[in-house]
Structure 1
């Protein structure tokens, strides 16, 4: 299978490149990052005026996986136009290029569980009400609608993945990265929320396996699929597990104040994903230990 991964220099993109190359797929890459060492099957995208025509004009692919885009709720509140462009407009541009040059290429867009907002019931299924709490969530929802548009009117084979909370070695942002920085300060610190908030975490290795199952088995009829492990983990428990690996006591508390745009509780219904043959393989305690070891390698 020939695969093009757009956003190949990001955290998820890099891991997908490694995974698909390990599985002996033919992999092409595209990103805005200038890397003179990475010239083999690599397309440099102009960050000021993204144009994906050259990506699809001369080379044929079986599937395109879009890992590009912004991934910050607070950032989307500060700069919604940038978030809209990266998370919605670029999806339209990619699909336009596919439609023009190789409409047989299948397309997977990496979306977000942020489209749900605060679910009314858990676990949340793909048919649940969508109620984004941030510009980021709205733009990810618009990207899904763009995928549906190109399927409905141009018969492109598309699929949107609602990805929950991804973590793993190499991630340099979000909860556990921030926890490590605070722990290293040696000072007492305060975390947002009450600790009773919950997330459905998935290790990046499991994410890669899940995406492969989708690529091989879904119908690509503007499908929407939850990508998670179907396990609700309270933030206070995730924090305690992560800090248990440190050789010293860490003093912290929860402020009780929620951060704007953040949902309270998440647990995914992953029956649709499991029907494609996916099963979680990385236990969270092992995944967090691996992340801790990566952070503290000498």
Structure 2
């Protein structure tokens, strides 16, 4: 396939570029980041006028994966307009360009489990009610509706992936990045919540495999598909697992305070994804050990 990855400089986008190249696809990239070293099949997007016409006018693709946008619940509460533009308006602009220049191109948009909020029951099926707890969750759901709009009225091939908690090498934010920085400080650590909160984690390499399976199998009829491992991991358990990677004991506790916008418990129903042939290849312990090794090497290189 000829694949265009928008947001290629981000955490997920970078891994998708590597993965799709490794398995033999031709990959084009697009992002707002100026990179004079990356000139091969790379489109620089003007952040002030991102109409995407140039990207789709001069090259034909079999598949476009949109990994761009904002990815912070706290920031969406502080800057909801910015989040709306990056996660919702941007999707409309991309689909407008696809509709104008190559309506046969398949489009995958990375949505989020944040659209579910606090579900009434676990595991969470794609048919579950959507009750976002943050502007980020609302805007991701609106982007799904835009994908439905362009499929219904213009017959575009669209698909939205409701991604649960992704982690892995290169992620410089969120839980495990924060845990590492707090652990090396040597100070006692106080964490949000009680530890009984749960998430459904998926390693970024397994995410890349899942996305390829969706690309090869989905009907692209404005489908919505959960992307996770279908395993509920308690936060207290993954914190302990990660801190076991260190060579010294770490003093930590949970504050009992829940951060605004954060759901309590998540576990994905992934029957649809499994029907495409998906099975996890990286378990939690292995993934956290690899992440600890990566972040340790990264921090060492930064300070040298």
TM over 0.5: yes
Aligned to 2:54: 54
Aligned to 1:105: 105
TM superposition shift of 1:277: 1.0
TM superposition shift of 1:47: 1.2
Aligned to 2:133: 133
After superposition, the C-alpha distances for 1:98-123 in whole angstroms (9 at most, x for unaligned) are 00000000000000000000000000
TM superposition shift of 1:262: 0.2
Task: Give the TM-score normalised by structure 2.
Answer: 0.97
Whole-Å Cα distance in 2 between the matches of residues 206 and 275 of structure 1?
15
Whole-Å Cα distance in 2 between the matches of residues 189 and 103 of structure 1?
52
Aligned to 1:64: 64
Aligned to 1:73: 73
Task: Give the TM-score normalised by structure 1.
Answer: 0.99
After superposition, the C-alpha distances for 1:81-108 in whole angstroms (9 at most, x for unaligned) are 0000000000000000000000000000
* Mapping of residues 118-129 of structure 1, within 5 Å: 118-129=118-129
TM superposition shift of 1:15: 0.1
TM superposition shift of 1:265: 0.1
Aligned to 1:184: 184
TM superposition shift of 1:23: 0.8
Whole-Å Cα distance in 1 between the matches of residues 193 and 101 of structure 2?
48
Residue 236, structure 1, aligned to residue 247, structure 2: no
Whole-Å Cα distance in 2 between the matches of residues 223 and 97 of structure 1?
20
Whole-Å Cα distance in 1 between the matches of residues 189 and 203 of structure 2?
26
Aligned to 1:271: 271
* Mapping of residues 276-291 of structure 1, within 5 Å: 276-291=276-291
Whole-Å Cα distance in 2 between the matches of residues 77 and 170 of structure 1?
25
Whole-Å Cα distance in 2 between the matches of residues 88 and 239 of structure 1?
33
Whole-Å Cα distance in 1 between the matches of residues 281 and 188 of structure 2?
35
After superposition, the C-alpha distances for 1:161-218 in whole angstroms (9 at most, x for unaligned) are 0000000011000000000000011000200000000000000000000000000000
* Mapping of residues 1-298 of structure 1, within 5 Å: 1-297=1-297, 298=300
TM superposition shift of 1:149: 0.2
TM superposition shift of 1:295: 1.1
Report the RMSD for the aligned CA atoms in angstroms.
0.5
Moved over 4 A (4+): none
**Partner secondary structure for residue 195 of structure 2:** coil
TM superposition shift of 1:153: 0.3
After superposition, the C-alpha distances for 1:29-50 in whole angstroms (9 at most, x for unaligned) are 0000000010010000011221
After superposition, the C-alpha distances for 1:213-243 in whole angstroms (9 at most, x for unaligned) are 0000000000000000000000000000000
Gaps of 5+ in 2: none
Gaps of 5+ in 1: none
**Partner secondary structure for residue 193 of structure 2:** coil
